[in-house]
Copies of this chain bind each other. A is one copy, B any other.
Amino acid sequence: MRGIFEDELKKLHGKFTEMGINVSEAIYRASKSFIDHDKALAQQVIDHDEAINEEEIKLEDQALMLMALQQPVATDFRRIIIVLKASSDLERIGDHAVGIARESIELKGEHRVSEIENDIAEMTNTVRAMLEEVLDAYVKEDEVGAKKIANANQEIDAAYAQVREKIIQMMKQDAKIITGSTSYLMVASYLERIGDHISNIAEWVVYNKTGHLAELTPDHHPEEK
């Protein structure tokens, strides 16, 4: 029975990782659609979100089966629950990718600011690298790796604070960019929140090992000094 449980849990982790890879792809495409003003690509991200939501439900069904059929011991329940909790974060990251894609579709400002677009591209690369790392730490149940991810999230927080300040200054100097700049602001804030969700997943990895939910990023929000 133990062997079957471990095998099934491994399958569950495999599905989780797959979902994570799809979500990472969604972030990439959403951000690319925004920077390239590619509304068709943005629409693809929006259409694909339902598949990500379905992955979450399938994970849940599989977890329920595992609980009901394999009669896990108490500590095993935690390992299953964590997959479910972390998959909520993945699903929410997917929603934020959709948020970015919707900004691409709605983008009205004709006046582009390439400096800000570069910052957004860089933030995108950072959160995708973080997501890859957290998926890896997750599968390996690597507590140390998970803690490192929290530091990367502080970088994202700092990048967001900087971009926001830059956007404010630019809007003050040129009223023509105001409409488009609110989109820049929203996209940057989506990326910042994606970083928070990745940190949440990292926290679940630590929780799995320790039974305690360490707040790895006590200062999620960069605005506070």
Is residue A73 within 8 Å, beta carbon to beta carbon, of the partner chain? yes
Copies of this protein in the assembly total 2
User: Besides the contacts A63-B81, A64-B74, A85-B88, what 10 more A-B pairs have beta carbons closer than 8 Å?
Assistant: A64-B78, A71-B71, A88-B88, A102-B224, A103-B223, A105-B224, A168-B179, A171-B171, A171-B178, A186-B189
Kindly state the separation between the CA atoms of A215 and B57 in the bound complex, as whole angstroms: 12
Question: What count of chain A residues pass the 8 Å CB interface test?
Answer: 45
Cα separation A224 to B77 with both chains bound (whole Å) = 41
Q: List 13 A-B contacts (CB under 8 A).
A: A53-B215, A60-B85, A64-B78, A64-B81, A68-B74, A84-B84, A95-B220, A102-B223, A105-B223, A106-B223, A171-B175, A175-B175, A189-B189
A68-84 vs B, CB cutoff 8 Å, 1 = contact: the mask equals 10010110011001001
A67 within 8 A of B: yes
Say yes or no: A81 contacts B60, CB within 8 Å: yes
Decide if A113 is an interface residue (CB 8 Å cutoff): no
Chain B minimum-CB-distance residue to A73: B68
Q: How far is the CA of A71 from the CA of B53 in the complex (A)?
A: 29
With an 8 A cutoff between CB atoms, is A92 at the interface?
yes
Q: Is there a chain B Cβ closer than 8 Å to A15's Cβ?
A: no
A interface, over-half SS: helix
- The residues in A between 184 and 225 inclusive whose CB is less than 8 angstroms from any CB of B are 185-186, 189, 196, 213, 215, 220-221, 223-224
Whether, in the assembled complex, A164 has its beta carbon less than 8 Å from a beta carbon of chain B, the answer is yes
Asked if B215 and A50 sit within 8 Å, CB to CB, the answer is yes
Is A19 an interface residue, CB under 8 A from the partner? no
Decide if A99 is an interface residue (CB 8 Å cutoff): yes
* C-alpha gap A74/B74 in the complex (Å): 16
For window 89-147 of A, CB contacts with B under 8 Å fall at: 89, 92, 95, 98-99, 102-103, 105-106
Contacts A105-B224, A196-B95 given: A67-B77 contact, CB under 8 Å?
Answer: yes
